[in-house]
Chains A and B, each alone.
Chain A
Amino acid sequence: MSDTTRNRIMLVIAILMAAIYLFPLYWMYITALKGGSEMFATPPSFWPGDPQWGTFGYVWESRGMGRYLWNSLVIAVGAVTLITVLGVGCAYVLARYRNVWVDIGLFMILMLQVLPASLMVTPIFVGFSQLGMLDYPRLAVIIAIAAKSMPFFVVLVRATFMAVPMELEEAALVDGNSRVGAFFSIVLPLARNGILVSAILIFMQAFGEFVYSKSMIQAAELQPASVGLNSFMGPNTNEWNNIMAYATMYVTPILAIFVLLQRRIVSGLTSGALK
């Protein structure tokens, strides 16, 4: 068997496996386009006979999705900004030095990373309500997400900084740059891509965050899209085409970002988590 035939066969099998794996995603898009009776037909149709494009506009209007997505965006952008501002410097220092203190710091950061949000939300909620921070629920959620996700960001960005040769920075210092100058004009530009990819990963996580928002944001007009989707799915719902249309509009921007930046995201992810 020649190499090209083998490659073709492998590719066909790979595409087949990807198709099976991604079937749930396909089912979401297809269901969103089905009408009320087609949705419950037996046997189910695997291609919409009469695509209902109007569902999207109807769900967008009736569920107030603009507001939900806006809140998701505010929370995600806020969390990413806070994490980036705080986390980049921390990752830089942890990458630059190698001693016992760095090891201890990294160990503690890893420990904080693993605490499940649904368990930490109890003390955070009680503490925040005592401090009166629940009057600004979106800010409270941003801070909670930042505390949860920053360790992950620091670990990823630290791997990026480790790849920046220290000699470059030392050369800048010899040339008369201050530490601040060398950091901003040499190290940061070189690590920019890695920081960007990590920030995008954090953004995608924060955009779909649920536990903190569900627990801390009571006012419906401040809730993000994940909480909106949860309240859309009652226990005995039968509006599955509408729910899938909601899910489609929620998830498609994230999927678009991911498919465009796939290669970088995957390599950024693997460099940090384990090597």
Chain B
Amino acid sequence: MKRILSSVRDGRGFDITLVAFPLAFLFLMAGLPLIYNVVMSFQEVDMFSLGTFSRPFVGFKNYTDLFAQPETWPILGNTVIFVVGSIAGQFLIGFGLALFFWVNFPGASWLRGLFLVSWVMPGLVVGAIWNWILSGDFGVLNFILKESGIISSNIFWRSDPHFSLYAVIIANVWLGTAFNMILLSVGLSGIPGDLYEAAELDGANAWQRFWTITLPMMRSTIGAIIALGLIFTLQQFDLFAAITSGGPNNSSNVTQYWAWDLSFRQYDFAKGATISVIMIIFVMFASVVYVRSTRHEVRG
């Protein structure tokens, strides 16, 4: 007993104690739910069997039922559009801004940091603001678009099924652009300056320097940011809750909102768990890509 105590105070035991509690906590509160999720997706769960562990197993019935539902494929399609649209918007605008702020001028780093307010705000607040900006009759975005002649009549962003998904994408692009820009800036500042000097001496113009130096040197950063973007985009829930609630008629529904909706609105916990399992496999795939592209950092 004494030996254990002194080891905790002054030896290997100290490290093991420090790391054991957090890992046990993470296993109990994140690992076990993950396993439980998979188990539930093979069970029949309703309001009556919610409190007990002994629920009937139904095999792959939840999965086959899920894909027999007419809304499943459209919602999966929406998720793809949402992910691709959000990442493309965030990345391209973020890259443009990062390149602009890369030119060093007084105040650049402070102004650049200011962009990040979009990222620290609660998602619900961002959603509320965009809900009001995108409002059909009185929204300021419609006013600006009409004044500049881009559209001739109001777009009902939230209630028109053709636009509702794009309403959320616009808000999500705004939310994520700053984060993309900051990380891309870090990557840009890591490129050695003498590469550009050498290229300039060789007579390469700005366009050629961008394609032959900046992009290749940024490859692992870009990979990591796209993977992170995929992870964050699939976590986006608050904006859906605040802007469209997945409607009208599922036209802006995506899997991460649908899973919650099934569990907590329709009390179909088994279906909610089933979608969760499918999506978590996707997310884990993305995170493997992320870990691989930051591996040199992780290994230290």
A interface residues, Cβ below 8 angstroms from B: 6-7, 10-11, 13-15, 17-18, 21-22, 24-25, 27-28, 31, 39-40, 42-44, 86-87, 89-90, 92-98, 103, 105-107, 109-127, 129-130, 143-144, 146-148, 150-151, 154, 162, 178-180, 183, 201, 204, 207-211, 214-215, 225-226, 229-230, 233, 235, 240, 243-244, 247, 250-251, 254-255, 258-259, 262-263, 265-266, 269-270, 273-275
Known: A120-B30, A211-B260. A21 touches B115 (CB 8 A): yes
Q: How far is the CA of A40 from the CA of B135 in the complex (A)?
A: 11
Q: Is the CB of B22 within 8 A of A226?
A: no
Which chain A residue lies CB-closest to B131?
Answer: A233
Contact A10 B105 (CB under 8 A): yes
Do the beta carbons of A25 and B19 come within 8 Å of each other?
Answer: no
User: How far is A96 from B16 in the complex, measured between Cα atoms in Å?
Assistant: 12
Closest to B177 in A: A21
Contact between chains at A162 and B300 (CB < 8 Å): yes
With A39-B138, A119-B276, A247-B129 given, is the CB distance from A112 to B22 under 8 Å? Answer: no
Interface presence of B97 (CB below 8 A): yes
| Choice from A126, A226, A251 contacting B50 with Cβ under 8 Å | A126
B123 close to A129 (CB less than 8 A): no
Instruction: Indicate if the CB atoms of B237 and A112 lie closer than 8 Å.
Output: no
Q: Is the CB of A115 within 8 A of B34?
A: yes
Q: B248: shortest Cβ distance to chain A, in Å?
A: 10
**B124 at interface (Cβ–Cβ under 8 A)?**
yes
A173 to chain B, nearest CB (A): 9
Q: What is the CB-to-nearest-CB distance from A153 to chain B, in angstroms, rounded to a whole number?
A: 10
Contact in complex: A208, B115 (CB < 8 Å) = no
Report yes or no: A86 in contact with B257, Cβ–Cβ below 8 A: no
Q: Cβ of B193 < 8 Å from any Cβ of A?
A: no
State whether A31 touches B106 (Cβ < 8 A): no
Interchain CB contact under 8 A, B299 and A118: no
Q: How far is the CA of A154 from the CA of B287 in the complex (A)?
A: 17
Bound CA span A19–B23, Å: 44
> Once the chains bind, are A24 and B133 in contact (CB under 8 Å)?
yes
Cβ of A87 and Cβ of B186 under 8 Å apart?
no
Interfacial chain A residues near B103, Cβ < 8 Å = 10
- Of A96, A154, A179, A254, most buried by chain B (CB within 10 Å of CB) is A179
Do A244 and B256 touch across chains, with their CB atoms under 8 A apart? no
Is B201 in the interface zone, CB < 8 Å from A?
no
Q: Does B155 contact A (CB under 8 A)?
A: no
Distance A130 CA – B49 CA, assembled complex (angstroms): 10
* Complex alpha-carbon distance, A239 and B265, angstroms: 26
Inter-chain pairs besides A114-B283, A123-B33, A254-B120, 19 sampled, C-beta below 8 Å: A10-B103, A14-B107, A21-B115, A21-B118, A24-B129, A42-B138, A43-B143, A89-B22, A90-B18, A116-B256, A116-B280, A130-B52, A210-B238, A244-B128, A251-B121, A270-B186, A274-B221, A274-B225, A274-B297
Contact A120 B34 (CB under 8 A): yes
Cα–Cα, bound, A207→B121 (Å): 9
| 28 pairs, A vs B, C-beta closer than 8 Å | A27-B132, A94-B19, A103-B298, A103-B299, A105-B23, A110-B291, A115-B280, A115-B283, A116-B235, A118-B257, A119-B275, A123-B37, A123-B276, A126-B269, A127-B32, A130-B52, A150-B26, A225-B122, A233-B131, A235-B245, A240-B132, A244-B128, A247-B125, A265-B116, A269-B116, A270-B186, A274-B183, A274-B187
Is B26 a contact of A109 with CB atoms below 8 Å? Answer: yes
B178 proximity list for chain A (CB < 8 A)? 21
Check B108–A210 contact: CB distance below 8 A.
Answer: no
Q: Decide: A208 and B125 in contact? CB cutoff 8 A.
A: yes
Nearest chain B residue, comparing its CB with the CB of A107: B291
Please report the C-alpha to C-alpha distance between residue A143 and residue B33 in the assembled complex, in whole angstroms.
13
Per-residue interface assignment for chain B, residues 33 to 63, with 1 indicating a CB less than 8 Å from any chain A CB and 0 otherwise: 1101100100001000011110000000000
Chain B residues positioned under 8 Å from A114 (CB to CB):
231, 235, 283-284, 286-287, 290
- CB-CB under 8 A from A154, the residues of chain B are 22
Q: Closest CB-CB distance, B59 to chain A, in whole Å? A: 19
> Contacts of B221 on A, CB cut-off 8 Å?
274
Query: Which residues in A have their C-beta under 8 angstroms from that of B9?
Result: 178-180
CB-defined contacts of A243 to chain B, threshold 8 Å: 128, 132
Q: Which residues of B contact A262 (CB under 8 A)?
A: 110, 113-114, 116
B127 to chain A, nearest CB (A): 8
| Chain A contacts for B26, CB-based, 8 A | 109, 112, 147, 150-151
CB-defined interface of B225-269 with A at 8 Å, one 1/0 digit per residue?
A: 100100100110110011001000000000011011001100001
Query: What are the residues of chain A within 8 A of B129 when measuring CB–CB?
Result: 24-25, 27-28, 244, 247
A248 CB to closest chain B CB (Å) equals 9
B194 within 8 A of A: no
Beyond A86-B25, A143-B29, whether A250 also contacts B224 by CB under 8 A is no
B80 contacts the other chain (CB 8 A) = no
